[in-house]
């Protein structure tokens, strides 16, 4: 069971990597707010195409709390798109911006996981420290 979850996490990481590349490539060709809107609209269309064939056999909500969390995630998704497009449109190289965005998000998620009750271990703390150190080193190479 956990192994299949890891496969999905790896697929999400690959998608996140491509997301970063597409943002960099689009950043100088579109307004950043419009770009974030197009990314979100594309996600809505794809999600609808995947969901519609299963709509009768799929329970959409088991607790309304989940909807509120998804709204928060949607707000964050817009902010990610907007800030990433803005950073790349200002000339940030992808080999610096990508690791800062992705590595920084990993560190934030791990720290929030601790706050939510995930066990804190030395290897996890070392990993977060390495991620943050790497993001700091990369950000200093721009200056």
Do residues 69 and 116 share a domain? no
Mind listing the pLDDT tens digit for each residue in 47-98?
999 999 999 999 999 999 999 999 999 999 999 999 999 999 999 999 889 8
Mind listing the pLDDT tens digit for each residue in 87-138?
999 999 998 898 889 888 888 888 899 999 999 999 989 988 898 888 788 8
What is residue 143's predicted lDDT score, i.e. its pLDDT? 58
**Which of these three, 51, 70, 90, is where a domain ends?**
90
Compute how many other C-beta atoms are within 10 angstroms of the C-beta atom of residue 36. 22
Smallest CA-to-CA distance from 38 within 97, 29, 57 is with: 29
Q: What is the count of structural domains for the chain?
A: 2
Domain range spanning residue 112? 93-143
Smallest CA-to-CA distance from 33 within 74, 84, 69 is with: 84
Do residues 81 and 128 share a domain? no
And the tokens for 118?
């995930």
Do residues 100 and 116 share a domain? yes
Q: Which residue has the tokens 């943002």?
A: 23
- Global pTM reads 0.83
Do residues 84 and 68 share a domain? yes
Do residues 59 and 114 share a domain? no
Smallest CA-to-CA distance from 31 within 77, 99, 89, 74 is with: 89
Do residues 76 and 31 share a domain? yes
């Amino acid at each position: 069971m956990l192994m299949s979850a890891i496969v999905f996490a790896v697929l999400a990481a690959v998608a996140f990597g491509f997301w970063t590349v597409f943002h960099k490539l689009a950043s100088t060709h579109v307004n950043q707010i419009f770009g974030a809107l197009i990314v979100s609209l594309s996600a809505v269309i794809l999600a609808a195409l995947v969901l519609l064939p299963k709509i009768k056999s799929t329970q959409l909500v088991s607790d309304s709390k989940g909807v509120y969390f998804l709204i928060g995630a949607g707000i964050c998704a817009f902010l990610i798109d907007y800030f990433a497009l803005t950073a790349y449109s200002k000339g940030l190289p992808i080999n610096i911006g990508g690791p800062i965005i992705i590595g920084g998000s990993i560190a934030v998620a791990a720290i929030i996981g601790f706050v939510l009750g995930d066990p804190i271990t030395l290897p996890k703390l070392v990993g977060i420290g390495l991620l943050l150190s790497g993001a700091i080193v990369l950000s200093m190479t721009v200056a």
